[in-house]
């Protein structure tokens, strides 16, 4: 089963009068989260290189879009700063779902420097920049929320994905380190990661046409967790990491360390 934009979980959560940025929200997990927040009446601004696509036959919640290319550090700061000029005084939450994996798994010595730097820029520097620029705005709306979409590679190194594993591990530690600092206004920093592989457009681009995705999670599995975190602003979860399962349940990383996906294609 592939994820489609009209696959939105139904809840009684109402997020009216709240504003969230979803960085990397045009597709995949970020798009699933953005759609769910908007369906719950939040104002949702998607920041990505390309705009979210819609089905012409299925009515969808309104997502606002602003261009943000994290692979280009020289422009991404200006792009994100402009977004905060527009929305910063109303900002309640940021969800960071931007990633760069690459076209396929590649042995270390075959990875070009340009590819390595792209992973650093999107997976690590992009997160750093997003935190540096949005935390002051979030502090003004405290209690507020910053969620990072992490990965099992933080806990499981694997062959032929050294750049992705290194940058995601560094990003996770960046979040944990900042969470331990003493901030005057409470901004809850939370990390989510999938229990299993997730069926997304990026994954499908690296799989054969006849691949069986029946055992994969979908972006919809993250919607309930995102809605609950947004509703509570991550109360009681600051500085923690949670594994999201197929039913949307969040389990603390200490209770469920995800299995390595390094040899699953």
| CATH number for the domain that contains residue 171 | 3.40.50.720
**Residue 165 belongs to what domain range?**
19-252
Has residue 13 been placed in a domain? no
Rounded average pLDDT over 64-84: 96
Q: Is residue 263 part of a domain?
A: no
Q: Residues 18, 24, 25, CA angle at the centre, nearest 5°?
A: 55
**Is 9 a member of any domain?**
no
Residue 265 has pLDDT above 50, yes or no: no
User: How many domains is the chain built from?
Assistant: 1
As a whole number of angstroms, the distance between CA 94 and CA 111 comes to: 31
Top pLDDT among 21 and 205 is at 21
Q: CA 151, 155, 158: angle at the middle one, nearest 5? A: 85
Helix count and strand count (H, E) for the chain: 7, 8
Name the percent of the chain lying above pLDDT 90: 73
Answer yes or no: is 150 within a domain. yes
Is residue 2 domain-resident?
Answer: no
Given pLDDT bands bounded at 50, 70 and 90, which one contains residue 167? very high
pTM (2 decimals)? 0.93
Report the pLDDT value the prediction gives residue 60, as an integer from 0 to 100. Answer: 62
d(CA 150, CA 95): 11
pLDDT given for residue 185 in this prediction: 75
- pLDDT tens digit sequence for 110-159: 999 999 999 999 999 999 999 999 999 999 999 999 999 999 999 998 89
Would 8 be classed as within a structural domain?
A: no
Residue 159 is given by DSSP the state T
Residue 200 has pLDDT above 50, yes or no: yes
β pairing state of 19-23 and 43-48: parallel
The mean pLDDT value of the chain amounts to 90
**Higher per-residue pLDDT: 260 or 152:** 152
């Amino acid at each position: 089963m592939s994820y489609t934009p009209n696959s939105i979980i139904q809840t009684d959560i109402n997020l009216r009068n709240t504003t969230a940025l979803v960085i990397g929200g045009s597709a995949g997990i970020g798009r699933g989260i953005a759609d769910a927040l908007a369906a719950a009446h939040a104002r949702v601004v998607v920041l990505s290189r390309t705009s979210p696509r819609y089905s012409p036959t299925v009515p969808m919640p309104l997502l606002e879009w602003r261009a943000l290319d994290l692979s280009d550090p020289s422009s991404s700061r200006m792009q994100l700063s402009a977004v905060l000029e527009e929305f910063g005084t109303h900002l309640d939450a940021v969800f960071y779902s931007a990633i760069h994996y690459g076209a396929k798994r590649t042995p270390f010595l075959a990875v070009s420097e340009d590819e390595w730097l792209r992973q650093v820029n999107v997976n690590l520097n992009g997160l750093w920049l997003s935190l540096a620029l949005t935390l002051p705005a979030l502090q003004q709306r405290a209690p507020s929320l910053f969620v990072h979409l992490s990965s099992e590679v933080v806990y499981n190194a694997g062959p032929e994905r050294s750049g992705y594993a290194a940058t995601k591990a560094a990003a996770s530690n960046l979040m944990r380190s900042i969470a331990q600092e003493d901030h005057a206004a409470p901004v809850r920093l939370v990390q989510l990661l999938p229990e299993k592989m997730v069926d997304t457009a990026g994954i499908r681009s690296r799989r054969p046409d006849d691949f069986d995705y029946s055992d994969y999670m979908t972006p919809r599995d993250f919607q309930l967790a995102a809605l609950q975190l947004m509703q509570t602003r991550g109360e009681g979860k600051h500085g923690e990491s949670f594994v999201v399962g197929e039913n949307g349940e969040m389990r603390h990383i200490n209770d469920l360390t995800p299995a390595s996906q390094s040899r699953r294609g």
